[in-house]
């Protein structure tokens, strides 16, 4: 091998090593940012649910909510839901660990719904029972915002006596109609 070929070979190897090292550090940096984003969102979810669940006040929730909750209709719907939560479950006593929902990373680029969305679940204990929050957080701006929130609990599924009677009557009518 000539001296010139050796120098070219050394330069090519050096450039390849630099590129590979750069890709490695860039990938590592990206992974760290994703981990930080998830942790920041987990902390945000825990804080927002703790503050909201202790009062069930939609004005407290508004601090953490996406713009859809802040419209008059959104506030009214949230106020009604929170009144039911307060009546049937009482206030929040404790939250479990905020858990990532597998395969829950979504990015959207539309004008209205642009953002990076992450979904989480959180077990919760209330004065009158237990439940599970399902929360999607939207990241589009300086602070994350709650894009959607659901609370699943057996206590919320209980029917009143009149609701139970109505459901029983409807079921009887349906089963009688199929017997004929």
- What pLDDT does residue 128 have? 93
The helix or strand, by DSSP H or E, that contains position 118, with its residue range, turns out to be strand 115-126
For 13-48, write each residue's pLDDT tens digit: 767 666 666 655 556 666 777 788 889 999 999 999
3-state SS of 66-91? CHHHHCHHHHHHHHHHHHHHHHHHCC
3-state secondary structure of 22: helix
* Entry pTM: 0.71
For the chain, domains (ranges, CATH) are: 33-179 (3.10.450.590)
Q: What pLDDT, in 10s, does the model give residues 130-149?
A: 999 999 999 887 899 999 99
Query: Does the pLDDT of residue 180 top 70, yes or no?
Result: no
3-state secondary structure of 25: helix
């Amino acid at each position: 091998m000539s001296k010139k070929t050796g120098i070219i070979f050394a330069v090519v190897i050096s450039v390849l090593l630099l590129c590979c090292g750069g890709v490695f550090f860039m990938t590592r940096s990206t992974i760290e940012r994703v981990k930080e984003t998830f942790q920041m969102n987990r902390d945000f979810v825990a804080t927002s649910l703790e503050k909201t669940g202790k009062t069930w006040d939609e004005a407290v929730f508004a601090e953490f909510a996406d713009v859809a909750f802040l419209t008059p209709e959104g506030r009214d719907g949230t106020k009604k839901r929170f009144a039911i939560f307060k009546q049937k479950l009482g206030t929040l006593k404790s939250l479990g660990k905020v858990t990532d929902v597998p395969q829950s990373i979504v990015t959207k680029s539309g004008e209205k719904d642009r953002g990076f969305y992450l979904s989480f679940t959180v077990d919760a204990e209330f004065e009158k029972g237990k439940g599970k929050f399902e929360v999607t957080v939207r990241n589009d701006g300086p602070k994350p915002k709650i894009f959607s929130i659901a609370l699943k609990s057996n206590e919320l599924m209980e029917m009143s006596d009149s609701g139970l009677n109505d459901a029983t009557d409807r079921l009887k009518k349906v089963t009688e109609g199929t017997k004929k």
